[in-house]
Amino acid sequence: MARLNLDQVSKSFGTAEILKAVSLSIEDGEFVVLVGPSGCGKSTLLRLIAGLDPMTSGTLQIGDRVVNDLAPAERKIAMVFQSYALYPHRNVRDNMTFGLKFSGMKKDEIDRRVAEATRMLQLGELLERKPRDLSGGQRQRVAIGRAIVREPDVFLFDEPLSNLDAALRVSTRVEIARLHAMLRATMIYVTHDQTEAMTLADRIVVMNKGRIEQVGAPLDLYFTPANLFVAGFIGSPGMNLFSAHLTQAAETLTATTGFGYALPVKGATLASAASVTIGIRPEHVLFGETPYQAFSARVDLVERLGEISYLYCATVNGTPLIAEWRGRHTPSVGDTVKLSADPGTIHMFGADGTRVPDAVR
Amino acid sequence: MPELTQSALSSKSGFGRLALLVFFLGPAVVIYAAFSVYPLIATMALASFTTDQAGAYHFAGIDNFILLLTDKDWRGPFWNALGNNVLFFIIHMLVQNPIGIAIAGLLSLPALKFRATYRTLIFMPTMLSVVIIGFAWNLILSPLWGVSEGFLKFFGLGSLFQPWLGLEGSALITIGLISVWQFVGIPLMLIYAALLNIPEELVDAARIDGLSHLRIFFHVKLPLIMPTIGLVSILTFVGNFNAFDLVYAIKGALAGPNFSTDLLGTFFYRTFFGNQLQLGSPTMGATVATAMFLIILMGVCVYLFLVQRRLERHSF
Ligand SMILES: Nc1ncnc2c1ncn2[C@@H]1O[C@H](COP(=O)(O)OP(=O)(O)O)[C@@H](O)[C@H]1O
Ligand SMILES: [Mg+2]
């Protein structure tokens, strides 16, 4: 078990700079999830931590050692791959003991570790089987078992659930959470699925184009996204974003959207004539008469999920938005609805895309 | 497409169905029969006849084969050629295929530069005409004008030089090695392709497990490409027992010195077409050809039924 520290880590393939000065500290025993769109460099970062690829610059510390120049096996890490990467010609037991045997470990110790992993993951009946005779979920458990027997300081997972079907994904997710609670090891988990990220993480690291956009607890990211990217990425369906411009009249600063939605705002960094972005999550949209500023929109499509329904609407100037409706009697397609939101739930982002805290009153 | 054929087959009955089969299978069956099956059967049939002084054919059953295996004039050259052929095959298995595997392993290392250049250079001899190869190596190894003696002298090893192609003890091995040089590109390419098929994540997993590149090669990659190595072996076997051209190009049909480079191919050639003092005999030629066919058939059967079944194919 160990802390892990990345300091100004960069990675280039040829001239393409994939990771740009990433710095991140991970506490002992923490479960950190890296999320971000496909191709943003999550796997690359994980492979740098594992030592599978060399970094272009920067320092990586695991525990109190700088491990930049250590081979993967010397870093006290274990990795679970998306494709499971089990040795096809070895049975489950050999898959778990393969590395240990080559490291010259005593047989007693190997047996103890295998027995423990077997018990923890309920692999008992599978030990003599070859990987091709296992289902996807079983293969994933073996891959996790192979990581556990290494007794690493840090577990690395690269999209471990993305090859499983939906039901198995949920149950394996729960199992990984249980495993973390049991082992108390540091875990770094890569996914592009935000449900996985929200449910598993102590802290989420949102990445985009080789940079870290925000690091925080799941609900912090949801309620106070640091910038437009995080606002759009966390939450499903995504946050409604409206561009607006500021006008000063007497003492009050007002943000007005193209469809006439006007919000009184405040904030030291805000100045008249600046353009800003207003963000409202679908689940925070209110219908009908409220004490708040309102605007109208036409319902174009209704998606009924049962407990809730999503209304796909267009404002008077055609700006699309999504609103969540609770209950049974949804408006119909073509209806005009009156929409508003509690200022406390409205987000505001400045011209550079960063959050303006407490801007809407 | 399968549905289409299925429905076409089931909707028609009797004649219509037959017409369909003839239409789709006919051309292949005719071509295969005319150019493969017929010559094979005709050869086997010819092997069961003898000719008398007047040139008339008489049915002889398996007499020709008994002659080949027991007659004092036939048995010596036949066993000599067969023995040489086995040695020729062993040289390829011990030299060509391990070198092919090793080079393929090196080519598949991620850090390698100029990969395509090496690949092309190593494959080049395979694309050259055998006549050119025979001629070139004859010149290189010639004690009169060859460069090899001077080359060895340059390194102070001049005393090691021998006219290898001219000595009974070394001629076959030399030709075997020339053949290895010529054909090493084929196992190389097949095994290289198989190695590329192994997913990178598997190698990454082994690296995290602490295996060196060498151990990854022997404990992960090699077991996974066994089916390809089996395939390469059987291709080598069939190729070697049908070999003829390189020996003919370098040593001529007499496969000298003193038949020490005689393979079944050259032996067959002399038997069928005749050579110098030897008269050609179509029936004995057909007998040798049939014997070669049976030897190769046995080898392939041993491979298919004993070896291939034990090789596991892995999907990733
Ligand atoms: N070995 C490589 N050579 C060149 N480019 C690479 C290599 N590996 C990854 N990349 C590039 O780096 C970027 C990030 O890849 P990756 O880390 O796999 O993204 P993801 O966040 O989806 O895991 C991609 O644009 C990819 O094309
Ligand atoms: Mg990835």
Share of chain A above pLDDT 70, in %: 99
Ligand 1 neighbourhood includes A18 CB (under 6 angstroms)? yes
- Tell me which H or E stretch contains B137: helix B130-141
Question: What are the pLDDT digits (tens) for A279-310?
Answer: 999 999 999 999 999 999 999 999 999 999 99
> Distance between CA A74 and CA A66 in Å, rounded?
12
Q: What is the mean pLDDT of each run of 10 residues along chain A (361 residues)?
A: 91 94 95 94 96 95 93 94 93 94 92 93 91 92 94 94 89 92 94 92 96 96 95 92 89 89 83 86 95 95 94 95 93 95 93 88 69
CA gyration radius for chain B? 25
Measure the CA angle with vertex A195, ends A192 and A198; round to 5°: 100
Reading across the β-sheet that carries A4-13, which strands appear in turn? A16-26, A4-13, A57-62, A65-66
Kindly identify the ligand whose nearest atom is closest to the C-alpha of A207.
1
Under a CB-based contact definition with an 8 Å cutoff, are residues B161 and B174 in contact? Answer: no
Tens of pLDDT, residue by residue, chain B (316 residues): 455 555 555 555 678 888 998 999 999 999 999 999 999 999 999 999 988 878 788 888 888 899 899 988 899 999 999 999 999 999 999 999 999 999 999 998 878 889 889 989 998 999 999 999 999 999 999 888 888 888 888 888 888 888 888 888 899 999 999 999 999 999 999 999 999 999 999 999 999 999 998 999 999 999 999 999 999 999 999 999 999 999 999 998 888 788 999 999 999 999 999 887 788 888 999 999 999 999 999 999 999 998 888 887 777 7
Q: Is residue A207 part of a domain?
A: yes
Nearest atom, ligand 1, residue A159 CA: 23
Matching residue, tokens 């923490």: A30
Matching residue, tokens 């809730």: A308
Predicted local confidence at residue B312, as pLDDT = 76
Name the domain count of chain A.
2
* Mutational test site, ligand 1, from A18, A49, A82, A83, max ligand atoms within 8 Å of CB: A18
A217 and A265 assigned to the same domain? no
To the nearest whole Å, the CA of A144 is away from the closest chain B CA by 12
Tell me whether strands A294-304 and A308-315 are parallel, antiparallel or unpaired: antiparallel
Q: Which long-range contacts (CB under 8 A, 24 or more apart) does B272-280 make?
A: none
Single out the residue in A184, A204, A232 at which a domain terminates: A232
Ligand 1 neighbourhood includes A227 CB (under 6 angstroms)? no
Nearest to B314 among A78, A88, A99 (CB): A88
Q: What is the pTM of this model?
A: 0.84
Measure A158 CA to ligand 2 centroid, in angstroms.
Answer: 7
Nearest atom, ligand 1, residue A210 CA: 14
A15 and A128 assigned to the same domain? yes
A162 and A72 assigned to the same domain? yes
Single out the residue in A204, A232, A260 at which a domain terminates: A232
A273 and A312 assigned to the same domain? yes
A77 contacts chain B (CB < 8 A): yes
A217 and A243 assigned to the same domain? no
Measure A77 CA to ligand 1 centroid, in angstroms.
Answer: 21
Range of the domain at A343: 238-349
Nearest to A72 among B207, B224, B312 (CB): B207
Share of chain B above pLDDT 90, in %: 61
- Tell me which H or E stretch contains B87: helix B72-91
User: Domain with A206 in it: what CATH number?
Assistant: 3.40.50.300
Hey, CA dihedral for A14, A20, A23, A28, is it positive or negative?
A: negative
Question: What are the pLDDT digits (tens) for A208-223?
Answer: 999 999 999 999 999 9
Q: Is residue A358 part of a domain?
A: no
Nearest atom, ligand 1, residue A53 CA: 1
A228 and A270 assigned to the same domain? no
| CB atoms A89 and B312 under 8 Å | yes
Token pair belonging to B111? 């850090």
Nearest CA to ligand 1 atom 7: A13
Taking alpha carbons only, the member of A129, A97, A99, A98 closest to residue A111 is A97
Measure the CA angle with vertex B230, ends B228 and B233; round to 5°: 110
Taking alpha carbons only, the member of B188, B166, B178 closest to residue B104 is B188
**What residues contact residue B117 under an 8 Å CB cut-off, 6+ apart?**
none
Q: Is residue A18 part of a domain?
A: yes
A60 and A205 assigned to the same domain? yes
Predicted local confidence at residue B1, as pLDDT = 46
A1 contacts chain B (CB < 8 A): no
A143 and A206 assigned to the same domain? yes
Find the helix packing angle between B72-91 and B63-70, rounded to 10°: 70
Single out the residue in A216, A232, A248 at which a domain terminates: A232
CB atoms closer than 10 angstroms to residue B147: 12
Q: Please, what are the domains in chain B?
A: 74-310 (1.10.3720.10)
Under a CB-based contact definition with an 8 Å cutoff, are residues B118 and B109 in contact? Answer: no
Predicted local confidence at residue A189, as pLDDT = 96
Under a CB-based contact definition with an 8 Å cutoff, are residues A1 and A185 in contact? Answer: yes
A45 and A157 assigned to the same domain? yes
Please give the mean pLDDT across all residues of chain A.
93
Under a CB-based contact definition with an 8 Å cutoff, are residues A145 and A134 in contact? Answer: no
Nearest CA to ligand 1 atom 6: A13
A32 and A125 assigned to the same domain? yes
A195 and A306 assigned to the same domain? no
* Mutational test site, ligand 1, from A11, A33, A43, A206, max ligand atoms within 8 Å of CB: A43
Q: Is residue A361 part of a domain?
A: no
The DSSP secondary structure of B92-119, one letter per residue, reads IIIIIHHHHHHHHHHHT-TT-SSHHHHH
ipTM: 0.86
A53 and A95 assigned to the same domain? yes
> Distance between CA A32 and CA A189 in Å, rounded?
6
